[in-house]
Amino acid sequence: MNTKCPARDFIYQDWILTETRFNPEQLHSRGTVFTIGNGYLGTRGSLEEGHARGLPATFIHGVYDDVPVVYTELANCPDWLPMIITINGDRFRMDQGEVLQYERKLDVSQGLLSRSLRWRSPSGSIIDIHFERFASLADQHILGQRCQITAHDGDCLVEIQASINGYAENQGFNHWEGIDQGKTESGIWLESRTRGTQIEIGMAAKMTISGAEAALQVSIVPGYPTISASFLAKSQQTITVEKLVTVFTSREVNKQVTAAQEKLAQLPDYTTLLTANQQAWDEVWQKSDIYIEGDPKAAFAVRYNLFQLLIAAPSHDEKVSIPAKTLSGFGYRGHIFWDTEIFILPFFIFTQPALARNLLSYRYHTINGARRKATHYGFKGAMYAWESADTGDEVTPRWALPDDYYGEDVRIWCRDREIHNSADIAYAVWQYWQATGDDVWMGDYGAEIILDAAIFWSSRVEYNSQGDRYEIRGVIGTDEYHEFVHNNTFTNRMVQWHLEKALKVADWLRHTFPEGAKELEEKLQITPELEAHWQDIIKKICIFYDSSTGLIEQFEGFFQLKDINLEDYEPRQRSMQAILGIETANQHQVLKQPDVLMLLYLMRPSAEFPYNEKALKSNWDYYAPRTDITYGSSLGPAIHGILASDLGKSATAYERFMQALMVDLEDSRGNANDGIHGASAGGIWQAVIFGFGGIQFTEQGPTANPHLPPNWTRLKFQLHWRGQWYQFDLPGGQEAGGREQEEKSQGGFPSGRTSGAGEQSSTLKAFPLALPLVEKGGAEEEVFTLQSPLPNTQSPDIRGFIFDLDGVLTDTAEYHYLGWQRLADEEGIPFDREANEALRGVSRRESLMRIIGDRPYSEAQIQEMMERKNRYYIELIEHITPKDLLPGAIALLDELRQAGIKIGIGSASKNAHTVIERLGLADKVDAIADGYSVQTPKPAPDLFIFATHQLGLEPKQCVVVEDAAAGVEAALAGGMWTIGLGPIERVGAAHVVLPSLAGVTWTDLRTKLNEAARV
Amino acid sequence: MNTKCPARDFIYQDWILTETRFNPEQLHSRGTVFTIGNGYLGTRGSLEEGHARGLPATFIHGVYDDVPVVYTELANCPDWLPMIITINGDRFRMDQGEVLQYERKLDVSQGLLSRSLRWRSPSGSIIDIHFERFASLADQHILGQRCQITAHDGDCLVEIQASINGYAENQGFNHWEGIDQGKTESGIWLESRTRGTQIEIGMAAKMTISGAEAALQVSIVPGYPTISASFLAKSQQTITVEKLVTVFTSREVNKQVTAAQEKLAQLPDYTTLLTANQQAWDEVWQKSDIYIEGDPKAAFAVRYNLFQLLIAAPSHDEKVSIPAKTLSGFGYRGHIFWDTEIFILPFFIFTQPALARNLLSYRYHTINGARRKATHYGFKGAMYAWESADTGDEVTPRWALPDDYYGEDVRIWCRDREIHNSADIAYAVWQYWQATGDDVWMGDYGAEIILDAAIFWSSRVEYNSQGDRYEIRGVIGTDEYHEFVHNNTFTNRMVQWHLEKALKVADWLRHTFPEGAKELEEKLQITPELEAHWQDIIKKICIFYDSSTGLIEQFEGFFQLKDINLEDYEPRQRSMQAILGIETANQHQVLKQPDVLMLLYLMRPSAEFPYNEKALKSNWDYYAPRTDITYGSSLGPAIHGILASDLGKSATAYERFMQALMVDLEDSRGNANDGIHGASAGGIWQAVIFGFGGIQFTEQGPTANPHLPPNWTRLKFQLHWRGQWYQFDLPGGQEAGGREQEEKSQGGFPSGRTSGAGEQSSTLKAFPLALPLVEKGGAEEEVFTLQSPLPNTQSPDIRGFIFDLDGVLTDTAEYHYLGWQRLADEEGIPFDREANEALRGVSRRESLMRIIGDRPYSEAQIQEMMERKNRYYIELIEHITPKDLLPGAIALLDELRQAGIKIGIGSASKNAHTVIERLGLADKVDAIADGYSVQTPKPAPDLFIFATHQLGLEPKQCVVVEDAAAGVEAALAGGMWTIGLGPIERVGAAHVVLPSLAGVTWTDLRTKLNEAARV
């Protein structure tokens, strides 16, 4: 299928966007549109050769800088794009000479941006130039560029200059201080550091030329290392220039320049790298694609929006999240808003749950920032930042500065008053958990978020004794046109909902992970009194709901505000706030974006209060006409679209959908230059799946109740739900035709969970695709991860190593033995080194059980003995030093880190942290799974699975190094690659068996693992 | 004399500062200390080869940018310094290899910075490197660099890379957008533009190498154009690399890159340029030097401070002024404070009056900003900005931003409350006028400043009807430790003084320039009622003066504040505000800097109220011990020093003097890195001249009443006073020795003008050096400029051209003739073309007088006829277009502008502005002197003198182009070079006579003028 749908200078094909004309007026909006990325970084669509008004930008996740004058922001990273071509002395630029042919293409099926043009130079030479670039999804540290040059009418002298530009800037501000730069055998490198946060970046680049004789030269202009070459391009012969770039930051590795250089030195050619990238994208799209027939513009644009979300989603990092403008622009300084949890997250929850988990984990890792914010404002618990960056502290700018000398600074109140996001985050955590059943994550991460944010609420609400009710005064709801309101219904109901769920989570935790629950309750000071207080708030918080009509008042006194007819202001090109002014907008019943309707939308999945048919209808009728849906918030249209679908208003639904869909491609709000509207893109997915697809979740799985737009003939997608994949292939044309009719139809109204799921799901075509969940013991130990069998047809893609501690990195086994020996001696139980051998990799309790055998000890005695042995052991390991590292361990760790591989520890020991500290390894490991991490010990795979979660990796991307049979068994059960250290008798089941780590290198191991994979 | 005085790692010689050790810890403070400049730009002492923590900076006067996020600031300009040297593959850097010998020298006698070192490269090569740089004072657009390399132990392969770095930054912010760059025959060029103010800069550079065979290569790395060369340096042979740079901005010329390229192409070699620079400095020092014997450290340091002021003083620009941190650092963003008028200006008034005039003219050109500020705050007249930049609008930052997420923004109140500077500026205008007798400037510029600022005061004071007094409430005085006070005595008395002087100026103006007075009174709405109001304020403004003791209360209620003993806090390293906190300091009798004592100091020159011996003594005793003189404001010590001198406290005087003197050289306040303490440097000059020299001004001229520090054996300096130079050569040792005795002595108290000037001036050694003022008619036409005869031994230094309009640039003479002809015809008076020839260059009234001869017309009729003729003429010139330009005019104008020569118009016509506009020349001329500019017409020189003032030039730097005998006579009388166009009979008195401008080039003219000069 190759349907073309022209729109202005864009052609939309299945997977390909083609720009047919270069318009310098659109330089910056198109710079956003042509953003590429790989979940590690995003690079805007700037021109390789530069442009007078160009703003080249590459943003790397987590690379924030906090220079006071500009507030914390994502630092624009050194630019990897510069390639300057000079033809017979004329420098190629779009604004000089003459562009005879032009085409720019973005292929979202593989994230490849290309530009082809025929150019006549000022002095009359005609050449064809073809540029390509991609950020590899197969290896996030690799960036590829290709330039092909063909002289068209006679030989040309060509000079090409490929650089890394260290002078990247954020609207004039350069966050980077140069550390060093230089030449290598294969090219150039640059090392810089952010001024405030001191994050270091290392980049390396090389260039190859084929098709002509060319000698490379390297120059060391400060901050702008450059490789150049001159050659003769013979007429009609194509010369290919390839530029490969590698990039690491100190967030991932210690020696980022070395890592970049070494990776660069090992790279295969451009074509091979591009193929690997294509394969990685194939895998992603297999899960996340939406296929639409009958509406080619929408078909491409939906994929385009999903592509922009996918390239912004961190696959290897759970300490970052997706900014409001993704990684595609300077807007909002790379800050993270509720946009991510409420608008963007569902796409990932249901198609890429591992990415969803990373995004939510960010809120766990930044919870201390939320706690600092709460403390600052005089509250308790976790008060999440309205705008969040690396630490979770509040980074919303305080002031919008005036443009002229005497203008007034305008205070930005969101940091103080727009507080609903703490409940929104809790909402997202709950949705993720419901959809995935990821109890481990919920126990470790999610519960703490929900509970500590609930504690914030109980300190934030005010008890009004006159009315015997709880109030939340002085807030901004989701509708930001009203900047200081009391008892915003959205906020109050979300708080109530949040507290309801907090009580459930607390209960669930106590039953499922009693030890963890106890620890958390102590840490957060959760008491029965507090839970009773939550109950009381739930009961008495004021909600303005008229049960006779279902109408909800947006906040206390909203209905008393002056009314307004938005149609009186049409046609308009500006927001109602811009037209009326902040104060006047405040005094009118005009909304920037859905507020009551947003609440209804969020309560829709489980049809919770106040969501019902009557409320939806009456509130839609009241609020939709009063909402500035065109120039208010870009968060509005998709949500209105879905609710319109629910109400059977098919034409409105499609109109709102298209409005959200084209916001960046058609720059309909005029601010695409600031970056992709991430929330709108996320809303698009929800509009297709929940709106047009009518997806509802029942206990039996997702069901569809589709009402496709009239022109859609088919809609195909897949969803991941509680460990299984469900594919939907929905035919179109089932709805009536004319607009009038649609607007009156009630047929689309979804059933909700309360009514029988089967009733209206006549079009359900879902079938499970995936293997069922791996059963390993009790229900509480369910692991949501899809357990695909290890691949054996290609080399494993190793991104993490998980080391057992005892017997692998160090010989604490010896100290354990000494501890057990002393205990056994005191108790008069026979025990020796040989007996000790059987305890390798076995938990403390199990070890003791084996030692005491069938001797009659009470549980209290057992507890005491475990503690006693541990005391002896602790005393012994006080004396551990880095000298206790086993031979080869440190060398291998360093080599792995330099190769960008993450390091985890998977040890049954409850003292793993102490031991790691004393061994001097604390800075070298990314994650520690220890005796507190999981309940079921090796040979269950839980401990290692836990470690892969912490590393943000899939089991098949990890290698476990073990010296114990139980450990090898656990790793294999978890689906990891396994290296056994010791005799075949003990660890022979591992993929690779070695006597010890002495002399072992990553290169060796990779070869051996590749061999094992081919078996 | 070659006295050396070591202090830490500095050696101070007569004119030379030598740094003997490179300490990277002092990188930034020494970057300030080693600043060079030429009154057009300042360049910090950064290293040519760069440094990891380096902040290279060049500031050009007036090049402000106003990006909101960082407030308006002087933009750091593209860096002209980069020179990277690579020896056998090792890049030379101070932090690599080994520095075996090191010396950095600043020679303030000629503004030459040099660095010599011997370096062992990491791979073991030893070389000597000698760097030099200067910014030419002879031609402000020329910058010179030299590098000499000598291989020490064997041949070396040397690579040298010389660049212009377009990525200059203000603490991370790059104010520049690149426009273009490229190569030329002789080197490289770069063109950039500020982001907000859109000021464009053009720079060009070339490099030459002598002593080795080297081919130059040019690379076009974006924003970083670079010339490089590789050569073999043979052992013990010195290779010399010279880099010459030219720089222009759009503030001076239209085509700044062309100007830079053309100037570069014409440059002689480095040595010739350095000699011209040296000569220019010789001239400056002849006037501005202070010679001290017996105290070598002070002798150098005084010259150093004066040097730093001289390089910051604009000699060619009256729309800029000296920022608080001069052009030497980022501190205070290049903003201009009262520091300039009160602390810095006297040095210029008395040694470089033309520069003083430029500095004060800045306040005239920015008066509209002051008016906007007044309007913003609801007042009238001119309320000068506390911090001022290019427009005169208030640019004090509103907030001091916190360093952490939750810190509070601290409001900076100076913009609102520290208002005394409007009176300070009036004070400076008055002092300049008194010292120079520059009535023309006072009439044109000064009066408007004084009067409009007086109008501000009358709108700002509040009348308290209960006390029948005027008050000024809610201010910050000069002591900024008290942020909100009422009736600060300094402010109130300065306002009173200001209004007293405003009345005198208004009176003087009416008598001297009645027409100008009338115009100004109309413009500013000065009425008799307003002047009566000023009188009333003068009479009734409250001043807290105890006439019995002379003690003054700093402000209402100051004596009620808690007292404090500063000695209790010694030793300390921080300001009292930092120790106590803002609030607590507010509540105590602790001063940041002199306030009452500052008032006494300002009233000292003419011993005006409240200055008297008793008041000085009692207020010193009260306030000096309560003033944070060590860590408060750097503005304090010099003033305290002078007053201590007055009181005979010689030891204290010297101590305070040295404290001010060494503030940057010894970085005693720890903030030298922000830039030179300009006010302190200005205070130094005042301390030497007024304090130690005891200079007073009597009607007979300046007299000295010296009390030199005990170790000073001689003090020599010269002062310019009312058109004459006075030289002082004061012997030391006349005062008693011991400290105790000094402290009690009253002998040093100055007489003031009220006592006989001769009485105590036994040590007076002044004698007039200069020619007396040129007498030209009435006293009101006195021109202060020193009329030195035209030099005839060397080529003239031409910097401006002043063109007559009619008959020179265009033939409006024809339209005048037609106008007169019509009038004469109507009146029946015989008139023809021949009669018209006699009217060339003659004013309208005089022309009419000649036409009517002795016919009896009344004054009213004459007025009517002048108006009638003018009406005819105006009708005729409506039709003038650029086609009416005479041949050759436009070509010569463009050539002159590109050569950096300023263009003025000197025309008797009252329609000159209109004509210039219609001819399309408005953008090509810098100044227009027309029929409104002066009273006495040609052949008096006034009109051309006026034009030279407007251009900021001396008459001898200007060429007048005239076609009329009266015009040639006027130009010669004014001391300008003169070109006459027309027959010898008419213009033969001119230096050069030409038939017309057709085919005339600047090169030709220069040759002819040089010839004329040699006659």
**Does the pLDDT of residue A764 top 70, yes or no?**
no
B27: pLDDT confidence band, cut at 50, 70 and 90?
very high
For chain A, positions 849-868, list CB contacts with chain B under 8 A. Answer: none
Cα–Cα dist B796/B782, whole Å: 25
Per-residue model confidence as pLDDT tens digits over A210-233 = 999 998 989 889 999 999 999 999
Per-residue model confidence as pLDDT tens digits over A676-710 = 999 999 999 999 999 999 999 988 889 999 999 99
* Residue-level pLDDT at B401: 78
Return the number of other C-beta atoms located less than 10 Å from residue A441's C-beta.
25
Structural element, H or E, at residue B645: helix B636-646
Give the pairing type, strands B977-981 and B958-962: parallel
Report the gap between the CA of A262 and the closest CA in chain B (Å). 22
**Does the pLDDT of residue B225 top 50, yes or no?**
yes
Per-residue model confidence as pLDDT tens digits over A956-1014 = 999 999 988 889 999 998 899 999 998 888 888 899 888 888 888 888 888 888 888 77
Of B69, B174, B195, the CB nearest to A401: B69
Burial pattern B959-988, b for ≥16 Cβ within 10 A else e, equals bbbbbbbbbbbbbbbbbbbbbbbbeeebbe
Nearest alpha-carbon partner for A472 in A494, A455, A454, A492: A492
Q: What whole-number percentage of chain A has pLDDT above 70?
A: 93
* Residue-level pLDDT at B648: 92
Cα–Cα dist A79/A195, whole Å: 17
Averaged pLDDT for residues A165-193: 91
Q: Where are the beta strands (DSSP E) in B88-214?
A: 90-91, 98-107, 112-120, 126-135, 142-151, 156-163, 176-184, 187-194, 200-210
Per-residue model confidence as pLDDT tens digits over B463-517 = 999 999 999 999 999 999 999 999 999 999 999 999 999 999 999 999 999 999 9
* Residue-level pLDDT at A931: 83
What average pLDDT does the structure give for chain A?
Answer: 89
Cα–Cα dist A757/A704, whole Å: 10
Residue B378, chain A, CB below 8 Å: the answer is no
Which residues of chain A are within 8 Å of residue B220 when distances are taken between CB atoms? 84, 86, 91, 161
State whether B68 and A402 contact (CB < 8 Å). Answer: yes
Report the gap between the CA of A64 and the closest CA in chain B (Å). 14
Of B167, B175, B402, the CB nearest to A223: B167
Residue A224, chain B, CB below 8 Å: the answer is yes
Averaged pLDDT for residues B971-996: 89
B403: pLDDT confidence band, cut at 50, 70 and 90?
confident
* Residue-level pLDDT at B5: 37
State whether B221 and A226 contact (CB < 8 Å). Answer: yes
Q: By CA distance, what is A407's nearest residue in B?
A: B376
State whether A403 and B50 contact (CB < 8 Å). Answer: no
**Does the pLDDT of residue A347 top 90, yes or no?**
yes
* Residue-level pLDDT at B1015: 62
Nearest alpha-carbon partner for B596 in B625, B616, B567: B616
State whether A70 and B69 contact (CB < 8 Å). Answer: yes
Report the gap between the CA of A672 and the closest CA in chain B (Å). 22
Which residues of chain A are within 8 Å of residue B180 when distances are taken between CB atoms? 52
* Residue-level pLDDT at A736: 37
Q: By CA distance, what is B167's nearest residue in A?
A: A167
State whether B67 and A172 contact (CB < 8 Å). Answer: yes
CA atoms within 13 A on the CB side of A828: 1
Residue A43, chain B, CB below 8 Å: the answer is no
What is the phi/psi pair of residue B370, to 5°? Answer: -65, -35
Residue A104, chain B, CB below 8 Å: the answer is no
| Tokens linked to B684 | 């130094």
Cα–Cα dist A376/A829, whole Å: 58
Averaged pLDDT for residues A635-654: 96
**Does the pLDDT of residue B740 top 70, yes or no?**
no
Cα–Cα dist A727/A734, whole Å: 19
Per-residue model confidence as pLDDT tens digits over A795-816 = 788 999 999 988 899 887 778 8
Q: By CA distance, what is A398's nearest residue in B?
A: B409
The length of chain A, given as a count of residues: 1015
Q: What whole-number percentage of chain A has pLDDT above 90?
A: 70
Per-residue model confidence as pLDDT tens digits over B805-858 = 888 998 877 788 889 999 999 888 989 888 888 887 677 888 888 898 888 888
**Does the pLDDT of residue B157 top 90, yes or no?**
yes
- Asked if A11 and A4 touch (Cβ cutoff 8 Å), the reply is yes
Q: Which one of A221, A403, A409 would you mutate to disrupt binding with B, by most B Cβ within 10 Å of its Cβ?
A: A221
Choosing from B132, B318, B418, B480, the catalytic residue is B480
Cα–Cα dist B750/A377, whole Å: 61
Cα–Cα dist B434/B429, whole Å: 9
Q: Which residues contact A149 (CB under 8 A, 6 or more apart)?
A: A85, A127, A128, A129, A130, A158, A160, A233, A238, A239, A241
Of A165, A173, A219, the CB nearest to B219: A219
How many residue contacts between A and B have a Cβ separation below 8 Å?
114
Of A174, A393, A399, the CB nearest to B172: A174
Lowest mean pLDDT among A149-153, A368-372, A403-407, A533-537: A403-407
DSSP label of A690: I
Averaged pLDDT for residues B911-925: 86
Strand partners, B96: none
Q: By CA distance, what is B398's nearest residue in A?
A: A409
* Residue-level pLDDT at B757: 32
* Residue-level pLDDT at B70: 59
State whether A219 and B220 contact (CB < 8 Å). Answer: no
B765: pLDDT confidence band, cut at 50, 70 and 90?
very low
Residue A82, chain B, CB below 8 Å: the answer is yes
Q: By CA distance, what is B227's nearest residue in A?
A: A221
Q: By CA distance, what is A93's nearest residue in B?
A: B180
Q: Which residues contact B973 (CB under 8 A, 6 or more apart)?
A: B776, B939, B940, B941
Averaged pLDDT for residues B775-798: 41
B585: pLDDT confidence band, cut at 50, 70 and 90?
very high
* Residue-level pLDDT at B789: 30
Name the burial class of residue B439, with classes exposed (0-12), middle (13-18) and buried (19+) by CB atoms within 10 angstroms of its CB.
Answer: buried
Per-residue model confidence as pLDDT tens digits over A248-273 = 999 999 999 999 999 999 999 999 99
**Can A480 be counted among the known catalytic residues?**
yes
Cα–Cα dist B246/A974, whole Å: 70
Choosing from A242, A318, A418, A480, the catalytic residue is A480
Residue A152, chain B, CB below 8 Å: the answer is no
Residue type present at position B10: F
Residue A95, chain B, CB below 8 Å: the answer is no
Q: Which residues contact B59 (CB under 8 A, 6 or more apart)?
A: B41, B42, B74, B75, B76, B77, B327, B328, B334
**Does the pLDDT of residue B742 top 80, yes or no?**
no
Residue B169, chain A, CB below 8 Å: the answer is yes
Sheet holding A226-233, edge to edge: A90-91, A83-87, A156-163, A226-233, A215-219
* Residue-level pLDDT at A761: 33
ipTM here: 0.71
Lowest mean pLDDT among A45-54, B516-525, B569-578, B913-922: B913-922
Q: By CA distance, what is A53's nearest residue in B?
A: B177
State whether B401 and A68 contact (CB < 8 Å). Answer: yes
State whether A373 and B406 contact (CB < 8 Å). Answer: yes
The alpha carbon of A951 is separated from its chain's Cα centroid by a whole number of angstroms, namely 14
Q: Which one of A405, A409, A410 would you mutate to disrupt binding with B, by most B Cβ within 10 Å of its Cβ?
A: A405
Dihedral sign for Cα atoms in the order A361, A362, A368, A370: negative
- Asked if A148 and A241 touch (Cβ cutoff 8 Å), the reply is yes
Report the gap between the CA of B178 and the closest CA in chain A (Å). 7
* Residue-level pLDDT at B8: 67
- Asked if A422 and A392 touch (Cβ cutoff 8 Å), the reply is no
Nearest alpha-carbon partner for B684 in B343, B327, B323: B343
Cα–Cα dist B175/B836, whole Å: 56
Averaged pLDDT for residues A871-888: 84
What average pLDDT does the structure give for chain B?
Answer: 89
Report the gap between the CA of A132 and the closest CA in chain B (Å). 21
State whether A224 and B222 contact (CB < 8 Å). Answer: yes
DSSP label of A693: S
- Asked if B714 and B291 touch (Cβ cutoff 8 Å), the reply is yes
Dihedral sign for Cα atoms in the order A782, A783, A788, A789: negative
State whether A172 and B171 contact (CB < 8 Å). Answer: no
Per-residue model confidence as pLDDT tens digits over B296-328 = 999 999 999 999 999 999 999 999 999 999 999
**Does the pLDDT of residue A790 top 80, yes or no?**
no
Angle, helix B678-686 to helix B296-310, in steps of 10 degrees: 120
* Residue-level pLDDT at A187: 93
Report the gap between the CA of B174 and the closest CA in chain A (Å). 5
Averaged pLDDT for residues A361-383: 97
Of B52, B221, B226, the CB nearest to A179: B52
Q: By CA distance, what is B217's nearest residue in A?
A: A219
Alpha helices in A543-592 (DSSP H): 576-580, 582-586
Return the number of other C-beta atoms located less than 10 Å from residue A858's C-beta.
8
* Residue-level pLDDT at B186: 66
- Asked if A623 and A724 touch (Cβ cutoff 8 Å), the reply is no
Averaged pLDDT for residues A325-336: 97
* Residue-level pLDDT at A751: 35
* Residue-level pLDDT at A69: 59
* Residue-level pLDDT at A914: 84
| Higher per-residue pLDDT: B879 or B209 | B209
Cα–Cα dist B146/B269, whole Å: 11
State whether B222 and A50 contact (CB < 8 Å). Answer: yes
Of A172, A179, A391, the CB nearest to B173: A172
